Amino acid sequence: MKVQSINPATEQVNKEFETIGMKDLLAVAESSYNAFEAWGKTDLSERIKLMKVLAGLFRERKREYGKLITVEMGKPISQAEYELERCARMAETYSANAERWLADEPVDFDGKRTFVAHQPLGAILAVMPWNFPFTQIMRCAIPALIAGNTVILRHSNVVPMCALATEQIVKEAGFPENVYKTVITDHDAVKTLAKSRYISGVSFTGSVNAGKGVGALAAKHVKKFVLELGGSDPLIVLEDADLGLACTGAIRGRFHNTGQSCINAKRLIVVKAVAADFINGFVQATKAQKVGDPMDPSTEVGPLSNKQQLDIIEKQVNELVSLGAKIECGGKRMQGRGYFYEPTVLTNVNLNYVAKNELFGPVASIIVAKDEKQAIKIANKTMYGLGASIWTRDIGRGERVARLIESGMVFVNDYTHADPRIPFGGIKESGIGRELSRYGLLEFTNTKSIVVG
Judge contact between 238 and 391, C-beta under 8 A: yes
Task: Tell me whether residue 372 is one of the annotated catalytic residues.
Answer: no
Catalytic residue among 81, 262, 342, 406: 262
Q: What one-character-per-residue DSSP string does 40-109 give?
A: TTS-HHHHHHHHHHHHHHHHHTHHHHHHHHHHHH---HHHHHHHHHHHHHHHHHHHHHHHHHTS-EE--B
Residue 337, number of CB atoms within 10 A of its CB: 13
What beta strand segments (E) does 314-408 contain?
A: 326-329, 344-347, 363-369, 387-391
Q: Cα(39)–Cα(178) distance, rounded to whole angstroms?
A: 10
For 105, list phi and psi in degrees, rounded to 5. Answer: -110, 115
Residue 321 to residues 85, 265, 359, Cα–Cα distance (Å) = 39, 20, 14
Q: Is 35 within 8 Å of 179 (Cβ atoms)?
A: yes
Phi, psi at 302, each rounded to 5°: -105, -160
Burial of 321 (0-12, 13-18, 19+ CB in 10 A): middle
What angle do helix axes 44-60 and 62-73 make, rounded to 10 degrees? 70
314 flagged as catalytic:
no
Catalytic site residue from 228, 328, 342, 372: 228
**Residues written for the chain:** 453
Answer for the pair 364, 346: CB distance below 8 angstroms, yes or no: yes
Hey, how many other C-beta atoms are within 10 angstroms of the C-beta on 18? 9
Active site residues: 228, 262
